[in-house]
Amino acid sequence: QLAEKRMNASCDCQPQVAIQFHAVPFGHKDSYALAVVSGLLNGQTGRLNKSLVLDKKIAASAAAYPQAQRYAGSFGVYAETQGEATPADLERAIWAEIERLRDEPVPAEELQKVKNRELADSFRRLQSPFFLLLQLLWYDGQGDWRYLNESAGRTLAVEAADVQRVVARYLTRENQTVATYLRK
């Protein structure tokens, strides 16, 4: 993608904005750093919730999600308005958080918290034999079943500089497709 793309739509919904970035395919070395970026932005203590929902009170919800597929991938950020906020307000606030990740190194404690959560989640996913089977099938279909064994270690190896590098490389205005949804 050489330039930003935009789509405006109307729906029977709360106004919202969704931003998609082209990213890396399944198993790419940068996919682990993008997963950490998602962890930094998501959750009750994540940057999107703290900034957009709790501090500015312009979003009812906000989330980020990497989607690595076999041959290509994407990274998405989504937020739904609250009160009198507009999708443009959400987009500006999302970009403020992206630029913060790009320009400021993530504090070691915040980075470790995300890594710990990923490690705990990967352990929990191994507790059910049936769920383990499903994971092996999914990862094999995506490209390599060994991902199940390697992902936690590779995620733990991500450093603050890796986060800044992938944000600067993939989460750019030229690489974004923005969908704005307004109420009918």
Q: What is the pLDDT of residues 9-34, one digit of tens each?
A: 999 999 999 999 999 999 999 999 99
Segment 114-143 mean pLDDT: 90
Residue pair 41/64 in contact by the 8 Å Cβ criterion: yes
Q: How confident is the model at residue 61 (pLDDT cuts 50, 70, 90)?
A: very high
**pLDDT of 92 over the 90 cut:** yes
**Residue closest to 42 by CA, chosen among 52, 57, 31, 32:** 52
Residue pair 61/80 in contact by the 8 Å Cβ criterion: yes
- The three-state secondary structure class of 6 is strand
**Residue closest to 56 by CA, chosen among 18, 85, 27:** 85
Residue 43 CA to residue 55 CA, distance in Å, equals 15
| Per-residue pLDDT at 171 | 97
